[in-house]
Structure 1
Amino acid sequence: MAKAMRPSTDDANDIQERRSSDSDVAAFLRRTQSLAPRTGDGRLIFAMDATMSRQPTWDMALQLQGDMFAAVDEIGGLDVQLIYFRGFGECRASKWVSDAAALSRVMSQVSCRGGYTQIGKVLGHAKRETAKQKVSAVVYVGDCMEESIDALCQKAGELGLLGVPVFLFQEGREPRAEIAFKEIARLTKGAYCAFDAGAAHQLRALLKAVAVYASGGRKALQSFSEREGGAAARLLEQMG
């Protein structure tokens, strides 16, 4: 069920400057400091909603997202930054690393906390990151949306002008989120996909296709689509 809508908040502060006393969050940030330094050419931001509405299917979602990280490692040549939000204004990001599997293990230690969505912060952060060094793509996994659709679309449009596609994967079918996610995908020339436990195989294939795109661009995705078809072809079709 959708949570009550609230006004969006300012995301001017960098995500990494947020403070939290939770031990697992502190451990998450400490662990990322010891991961392999970034070495690849492509850069992928992987963002996820860790608010309480996702708790019932959190383990399943983590497994699917772990499959995506495995695909990143298999493809190689790709640096990943992991972002999650939850609780009261808590939004955290790792440094850029090349060991995606290690990030997946770290993320498995994070639990859900009640709070509103902070998608605007994710999009704003992606814009700042690509101003420093080109971000190849953003992947977002979530189930609902409680922010201003217009405000999110403004940020999405800015990312689109910078050539940063956003690939949004929605758990369930909450209507407002579906409308917003599809519009963000359109504005950034990315793609949208809904998933649940029964769509696990399809989501794995789509996430792998996104990783191929982030690593080698549209040409690599086209070649991958010609070999694999299916999910990669559908992704290309949505991207236009």
Structure 2
Amino acid sequence: MAGRAAEVDLFLSQAKAVAQTAREGRLIFALDATLSRQPTWDIACRLQAQMFDVTAAQGGLNIQLVYFRGLDECRASRWLASADALKGLMERIDCRGGETQIERVLDHAAAQAAKARVGALVFVGDAMEENIDTLCASAGKLGMLGVKAFLFQEGHDPIAGQAFAEIARLTGGVHERFDLRAPHSLAGLLRAAAAYASDGVAGLTRLASGEPEARRLLASLGGTR
């Protein structure tokens, strides 16, 4: 009987874990980690906990960190369920010179979404040095998998802006600019994207009642998708 009871307890604990995972949203948090991005990386490291905080009441959030740097380095972390784990990882990563690898980010997000639902892709960067048609092809595949890309652009580089806007359009997502001198704006955008990843438009709508960045994202999405 003791053995049977242990088996039942194990089954119940596993079932509980599966149910919890199903309730949690999944967000891919991608960052340009080329050398010029160190100030943005440092600010994102300080702000990332707010993405977990804003979704706690909605079942929680799992975040996978993706970053590229150097000549040919693009890495993805395991799925992380706590702010401390994500911050600890980010603090061990330094930015290095290199060109953008946004195509690899998009393709990775699509591969993850093909395995299990991904609520949203967030990308933070300021440049695009790739073939825009190639990026659009990858974005189209991501959009077909139902993953919206939220691209948060520092600065006003027109080439990056055009590419980010097109990726957002093809995935049904949003392209927004932010000023690094006003980190509260990036914080609000990250919270809004996390709310959407966790509970879709309903989660974003709840947040929009008190946050201007959430209202901006909701308006860009049309409030109905």
| TM-score bracket relative to the smaller structure | 0.7 to 0.9
The one-letter code of the counterpart of 1:90 is E
> What is the one-letter code of the residue matched to 1:199?
A
The letter of the residue matching 1:232 is A
Identify which of 111, 117, 122 aligns with 1:139. Answer: 122
Structure 2 match to 1:232:
214
Identity, in percent, stands at 54
The corresponding residue for 1:83 is 66
Which residue among 95, 108, 112 is the counterpart of 1:125?
108
Change (3 A) 1:146 1:73: farther
Instruction: Write out per-residue CA displacement over residues 6-63 of structure 1, whole angstroms, 9 at most, x where no aligned residue.
Output: xxxxxxxxxxxxxxxxxxxxxxxxxxxxxxx983531100010100122355433433
Say if 1:196 and 1:105 are closer, same or farther in 2 by CA, change over 3 A: farther
Q: Distance in 1 between matches of 2:101 and 2:198?
A: 27
Residue pairs, 1:104-183, within 5 angstroms:
104-183=87-166
Structure 2 CA distance for partners of 1:78 and 1:87, relative to 1, 3 Å: same
- In terms of fraction of residues, the more helix-rich structure is 2
Structure 1 counterpart of 2:8 = none
1:209 and 2:192 correspond = yes
Structure 1 range deviating more: 138-147 or 196-205: 196-205
Matched, 1:220 2:203: yes
What's the TM-score once normalised by structure 1's chain length?
Answer: 0.77
Shift of 1:72: 5.0
Could you say which residue in structure 1 is the equivalent of 2:14? none
| 1:17 paired residue number | none
Q: Gapped runs of 5+ residues in structure 2?
A: 1-17
The offset of 1:104, in angstroms, is: 1.9
- The structure 2 residue matched to 1:196, chosen from 179, 202, 207, is 179
The equivalent position to 1:95 in structure 2, one of 71, 78, 90, is 78
2: CA distance between counterparts of 1:118 and 1:129? Answer: 17
Q: Following the alignment from structure 1 to structure 2, what is the Cα–Cα distance between the partners of residues 100 and 132? A: 24
Residue aligned with 1:173, SS: coil
Report the equivalent of 1:34: none
Tell me how far 1:64 sits from its aligned partner.
3.7
- Is the partner of 2:78 in helix, strand or coil? coil
Bigger Cα Rg:
2
**Equivalent position amino acid for 1:175 in 2:** P
Asked whether the equivalents of residues 31 and 41 of structure 2 are also in contact (C-alpha less than 8 Å), the reply is: no
Structure 1 unmatched runs, 5+: 1-36
Amino acid at match of 1:231: E
Structure 2 residue 185 is the aligned partner of structure 1 residue 186: no
What is the aligned residue count? 203
What is the one-letter code of the residue matched to 2:221? M
Match for residue 51 of structure 1? 34
Q: 1:56 to 1:210 in 2, by over 3 A?
A: closer
The separation in 2 between residues aligned to 1:119 and 1:73, in whole angstroms, is: 30
Distance in 2, Cα, partners of 1:199 & 1:153: 30
